[in-house]
Copies of this chain bind each other. A is one copy, B any other.
């Protein structure tokens, strides 16, 4: 565990000393879509290896970025969640995520790549103003690359929920990974993608209208 610090009096160097090692920021990203158990994290981060996951979690916990939480008796289990400092870090990552979408991500996932729909929802959950979300109460299923993620909007907040929490879905949104990349990178507006069928919407008219409104506001913002 020898700490290899940069030893520089600089915010970036200090941030990277804490969270710049391999896998660490991806762990934070995983918790951006909700609290998760040890094995969930392992499943979503293919290649990390249990030993490294364990030491990363311990380090993040020591530095107050994540915390362990015991669940109620029925599911006598433990989940990891972001602390307030961790949430702030998560928000600081959003511009980096957007840069990656624009300049680093391939258009089409290679066969070896894992594609998780939750990752594509980070922009919406962490970068849509409460104003835009105000008055909306709906649950959406996003189908991307054969898998689904669930987004709940309520009280001006959007967050990713598990299939169990999702309950009834008001609308289903279907798109493929290349459309996610194009929209995320700003090369294609979500409104246009809906218009030309690359994003398909099915379900309640009200929920669909709300989502299109969010898309329109997001385009205007960037």
Task: Establish whether residues B11 and A113, one from each chain, have CB atoms under 8 Å apart when the complex forms.
Answer: no
Looking at the complex, which one of B15, B22, B112, B122 makes contact with A96 (CB distance below 8 Å)?
B15
Task: Establish whether residues A103 and B119, one from each chain, have CB atoms under 8 Å apart when the complex forms.
Answer: no
Task: Establish whether residues B115 and A103, one from each chain, have CB atoms under 8 Å apart when the complex forms.
Answer: no
* Cα-based distance from A83 to B24 in the complex (angstroms): 27
Looking at the complex, which one of B21, B100, B114, B177 makes contact with A12 (CB distance below 8 Å)?
B100
- Shortest C-beta distance, A57 to chain B (Å), equals 18
Q: Which label, helix, strand, loop or mixed, suits the secondary structure of the A interface?
A: helix
* Cα-based distance from A7 to B114 in the complex (angstroms): 6
Interfacial chain B residues near A20, Cβ < 8 Å: 20, 22, 25
Is there a chain B Cβ closer than 8 Å to A10's Cβ? yes
Interfacial chain B residues near A115, Cβ < 8 Å: 8-9
Task: Establish whether residues A99 and B15, one from each chain, have CB atoms under 8 Å apart when the complex forms.
Answer: yes
Interfacial chain B residues near A114, Cβ < 8 Å: 7-9
Closest to A22 in B: B20
Is there a chain B Cβ closer than 8 Å to A193's Cβ? no
Interfacial chain B residues near A46, Cβ < 8 Å: 7
Task: Establish whether residues A95 and B98, one from each chain, have CB atoms under 8 Å apart when the complex forms.
Answer: no
Which listed segment binds B: A85-93, A149-157, A162-170, A204-212? A85-93
Interfacial chain B residues near A103, Cβ < 8 Å: 15, 18, 64-65, 85, 88-89
User: What are 21 A-B interface contacts by the 8 Å CB criterion?
Assistant: A7-B114, A8-B26, A8-B116, A9-B113, A9-B181, A10-B29, A10-B100, A11-B98, A12-B122, A13-B26, A14-B106, A15-B103, A16-B25, A16-B100, A18-B100, A20-B25, A21-B22, A63-B104, A88-B102, A91-B95, A92-B96
Q: A residues near B, CB below 8 A?
A: 6-22, 25-26, 29, 46-47, 63-65, 85, 88-89, 91-106, 109-110, 112-116, 119-120, 122, 145, 177, 180-181, 184
